Amino acid sequence: MTRHTRLILGASLAVFAALVISPCPAAAQPSPETVRLNVESFEYVWKTIRDQHFDPTLGGLDWQAVHDELLPKVQNAQTAEEARAAMTDMIGRLHQSHFAIIPASLYKDIDAPAKKGGRGGNTGLQFRVIDGRAIMTFVAPGTPGELAGVRPGWEIRSIDGEELPPIFEPIAKEFEGKPRKDYYLWSAVRSRITGPIGDTLTAVFIDGENRPAERSMILAEPQGKKVVFGNFPPFYLTYRTDTLADGVGYFTFSVFFDPVTLMPAFGKAMQSFMNAPGVVIDVRGNPGGIGGMGMGLAGWFVEEKNVAMGTMRTRSDTLKLVVNPRAKVYKGPVAILVDGLSGSSAEIFSGGAQGLPRVRIFGSRTIGATLPSAAERLPNGDGFQYAFASYIARNGVELEGEGVHPDVEVRPTREALLAGRDPALEAAIDWIREQHYKGE
């Protein structure tokens, strides 16, 4: 078997969680060859973690005992789902991010995601669960959600007849005080609002007048440039440059992928912001990607040479993540926006930049999923994502399971969204104004 391994510093936890839960068609009875391939895949996953995990003790976990407990489940699995569930159970014992078994069927969607089928159908609706309610935060132009008339601040009350509020209470209770609570609440909705491209989804919203509003939407391919990275399912890159109140520069992007496209776009934006009173970099909802890109972004606003944005620790080495300035850097205040869906490379970027001169972080605590990882194809055709290193921010905090705590905690409210306001962005602009006045 040929395996292709690609280094990735944090690979979209949110995307994988939404994809992996979708079942694949079950086989009537596994052939001896199928059983052999499943067992070989199980053994490869177990040995890879044993040999490559950055912590050789696996946190004190008896890895051999886990193997002996779960191997019979793979050997006796009657379906691909049963074999996959045993492997998912195994990696779940680590209680860490960036370990996943990716169903083989997802790879069929990589080459033809626009065809009906697969799991890539999208509404264009962006939302967060706020006070136990799924509230729209943004509706992308030209998407099924906008065409259906959905607006920021609306609440999704039910999806295809299933009421959402009862789903949230046990999740919120289970993860109260933990950094991934916002993510798990969001994921519960995300898994219900996506599906095969071309399918029709019917949702009941509560509009701005607190009236029920039923809308039907045909799921479409996600907007943006499709990016395929190694053995990961496809990602979609979007980015936007804007000039806000008082001339403040603004840049946001969806994922840390496709540096050939994203880095020049960011560079062009920063060049246009050189005389701006401040710059806002928005990575809210960004699940991550290639962690090294964060150092490239920071080079536009770091003036000193060899500035460390943290360290990456593997089983045998410790690597400092160093930033060097561009020939011409931006010397004004930089605000970075994060939230409970900012993960992986978005956390490496924001956590690494936190505390740098002229930088302040706004929003809410991030996911806490920062383990650098890789993905490979297994003998049975499934994908296997695994972490091989840990990340420690420049302030010495290991962000896995902890997340980035913003300097200024600001959360959205339904009232603000209905009024067309963005509290975190407003707080960032207010801070930039203060810095501008101090400099005069």
At 218-244, the pLDDT tens digits run: 999 999 999 987 767 789 999 999 999
Backbone angles phi, psi at 122, to 5 degrees: -135, 150
- Picking from 192, 207, 133, the residue whose alpha carbon sits closest to that of residue 159 is 192
| Whether the Cβ atoms of residue 286 and residue 254 lie closer than 8 Å to each other | yes
Per-domain boundaries in the chain? 6-105, 117-218, 225-372+387-439
* CA atoms of 291 and 302, how far apart (whole Å): 17
Residue percentage of the chain with pLDDT more than 70:
90
> Which residue has 């990575």 as its token pair?
283
The secondary element (H helix, E strand) that includes residue 190 is helix 181-193
- Picking from 41, 297, 397, 17, the residue whose alpha carbon sits closest to that of residue 184 is 17
Q: Which two tokens stand for residue 395?
A: 């302030």
- Picking from 299, 303, 121, 109, the residue whose alpha carbon sits closest to that of residue 217 is 121
DSSP 340: T
Fold of 117-218: Pdz3 Domain (2.30.42)
pLDDT of residue 363: 98
CATH architecture of 6-105: 2-Layer Sandwich (3.30)
| Whether the Cβ atoms of residue 144 and residue 216 lie closer than 8 Å to each other | no
Residue percentage of the chain with pLDDT more than 90:
70
Question: What is the pLDDT averaged over residues 398-412?
Answer: 93
- Picking from 194, 226, 187, the residue whose alpha carbon sits closest to that of residue 125 is 194
pLDDT of residue 4: 35
Question: 253 pLDDT exceeds 70?
Answer: yes
At 33-84, the pLDDT tens digits run: 999 999 999 999 999 999 999 999 999 999 999 999 999 999 999 999 999 9
| Whether the Cβ atoms of residue 251 and residue 266 lie closer than 8 Å to each other | yes
For the domain spanning 225-372+387-439, the CATH number is: 3.90.226.10
Q: CA-CA-CA-CA torsion for 290, 53, 312, 372, nearest 10 degrees?
A: 10
